[in-house]
C-alpha cells in the first residue's frame, strides 16, 4: 500500500493512524504543504489519501496558495474513487473539494467534548458498534456544509457536522482521536491554537484542556485505532 499523507503543520502527523498503516505494511508518501513540498502530479501508484489538520482555513488561499492545488488533487482523487480519510482541516478540505461551503462557526469548539452518532452510523462499517457518545479532542472554529450525496455519521451540540461519508470509501471527521501526549503538548505551542483555547476556555484553560486530554487519551486513541482500521479494511 502506498498512502499519500497531506500534512499542513509538523505537529499534526497522522499519529495513531500512521501506526495502523505501518502495521499493515504501508508506505507513507508524506507531503508537508506548509513547508513548500510539492504535491504529486499524478495519482498513479497511490492507493489512498489521508489529509490531516492544521491551523489554517481552507479559505486562506491568498496566504496559502497551495490550498488551491491541494483541493484540486483531493477532488481528483475522489473522482477516481481513491479511498480518502480527512481529519479536522482534512474534513473541511474534503467538503470544499466537493463544492460545499466551509465557513467560520459562531465560536471555537475547543476541549475534550463528546461526539454523538447519527442514526446512519448504526449501519456504517466504520462507525457502527462503538458506545456513542465518545470523548474527542476538539480544536477548531471552521465548519462546513454537507456535500451533495454525503451521509452524516456524527454530530455535536455546538457543531452538528462532525463526520460524514461519501460513497463507500471516503470519510471525514472534524474531531481528533489520533493524537498522543507529545503531539498535544506541541499543539499547545502553536499561536493559533493558543488563541482559540484562550478565547473559549479563559485563563488557565489550556492547562485544563491538556489535563482533560491526558485523562481521556487512552480511550480516544483506542477509538481512533478502531475507526481508522475499519476504514483501511474497506480497501486494503
Please state the rounded mean pLDDT for residues 72-92.
98
pLDDT bracket for residue 185 (50, 70, 90): confident
8 is catalytic: no
Maximum pairwise Cα distance, the chain: 50
Which tens digit of pLDDT belongs to each residue from 214-223?
999 999 999 9
Please state the rounded mean pLDDT for residues 30-44.
95
The strands making up 2-7's β-sheet, listed across from edge to edge, are 27-32, 2-7, 48-51, 84-87, 170-173, 163-166, 151-155, 102-117, 134-144
- Among candidate residues 8, 140, 161, 176, the one labeled active-site is 176
Q: Does residue 195 have a pLDDT over 90?
A: no
- Among candidate residues 12, 70, 88, 161, the one labeled active-site is 88
Residue 195 sits in which domain range? 2-235
Confidence at residue 148, expressed as pLDDT on a 0 to 100 scale = 95
pLDDT bracket for residue 213 (50, 70, 90): very high
Query: Residues 6 or more apart from 98 whose CB is under 8 A from it?
Result: 75, 78, 147, 148, 150, 166
Instruction: Give the count of beta carbons closer than 10 Å to the beta carbon of residue 65.
Output: 10
Confidence at residue 190, expressed as pLDDT on a 0 to 100 scale = 81
Nearest to 144 by CA among 133, 130, 155: 155
Instruction: For residue 5, give the C-alpha cell.
Output: 499523507
Instruction: Give the count of beta carbons closer than 10 Å to the beta carbon of residue 60.
Output: 12
Confidence at residue 206, expressed as pLDDT on a 0 to 100 scale = 83
Instruction: Count structural domains, the chain.
Output: 1
181 is catalytic: no
Q: Does residue 228 have a pLDDT over 80?
A: yes
161 is catalytic: no
Which tens digit of pLDDT belongs to each residue from 99-125?
999 999 988 899 999 999 999 999 999
Which CATH number does the domain housing residue 106 bear? 3.40.50.880
Which segment of 8-12, 134-138, 179-183 scores lowest on mean pLDDT? 179-183
Distance in angstroms (rounded) separating the CA atoms of residues 87 and 53: 6
Confidence at residue 194, expressed as pLDDT on a 0 to 100 scale = 81
Q: Does residue 196 have a pLDDT over 80?
A: no
Confidence at residue 14, expressed as pLDDT on a 0 to 100 scale = 96
Q: Does residue 41 have a pLDDT over 80?
A: yes
Nearest to 193 by CA among 64, 30, 45, 12: 12
Confidence at residue 63, expressed as pLDDT on a 0 to 100 scale = 96
Residues of the chain above pLDDT 70, percent: 100
DSSP states of 11-80: T---THHHHHHHHTTPEEEEEEGGGTPPPPS--TT--EEEE---SS-TT-TTT-THHHHHHHHHHHHHHT
> Mean pLDDT across the chain, nearest whole number?
95
- Among candidate residues 12, 18, 109, 178, the one labeled active-site is 178
Please state the rounded mean pLDDT for residues 53-63.
95
Amino acid at each position: 500500500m502506498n498512502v499519500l499523507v497531506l500534512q499542513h503543520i509538523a505537529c499534526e502527523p497522522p499519529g495513531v493512524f500512521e501506526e495502523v498503516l505501518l502495521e499493515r505494511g504501508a508506505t507513507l508518501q508524506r507531503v508537508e504543504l506548509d513547508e513548500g513540498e510539492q504535491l504529486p502530479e499524478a495519482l498513479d501508484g497511490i492507493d489512498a489519501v489521508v489529509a490531516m489538520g492544521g491551523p489554517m482555513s481552507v479559505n486562506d488561499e491568498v496566504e496559502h496558495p497551495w490550498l488551491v492545488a491541494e483541493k484540486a488533487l483531493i477532488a481528483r482523487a475522489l473522482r477516481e474513487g481513491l479511498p480518502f480519510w480527512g481529519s479536522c482541516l482534512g474534513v473541511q478540505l474534503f467538503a470544499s473539494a466537493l463544492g460545499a461551503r466551509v465557513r467560520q462557526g459562531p465560536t471555537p469548539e475547543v476541549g475534550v467534548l463528546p461526539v454523538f452518532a447519527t442514526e446512519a452510523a448504526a449501519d456504517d462499517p466504520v462507525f457502527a458498534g462503538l458506545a456513542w457518545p465518545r470523548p474527542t479532542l476538539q480544536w477548531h472554529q471552521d465548519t462546513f456544509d454537507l456535500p451533495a450525496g454525503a451521509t452524516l455519521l456524527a454530530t455535536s451540540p455546538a457543531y452538528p457536522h462532525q463526520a460524514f461519508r461519501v460513497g463507500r470509501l471516503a470519510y471525514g471527521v472534524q474531531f481528533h482521536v489520533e493524537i498522543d501526549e507529545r503531539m498535544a503538548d506541541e499543539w499547545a505551542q502553536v499561536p493559533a491554537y493558543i488563541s482559540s483555547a484562550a478565547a473559549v476556555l479563559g485563563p488557565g484553560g489550556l492547562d485544563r484542556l491538556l489535563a482533560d486530554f491526558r485523562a481521556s487519551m487512552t480511550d480516544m486513541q483506542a477509538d481512533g485505532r478502531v475507526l481508522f482500521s475499519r476504514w483501511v479494511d474497506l480497501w486494503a
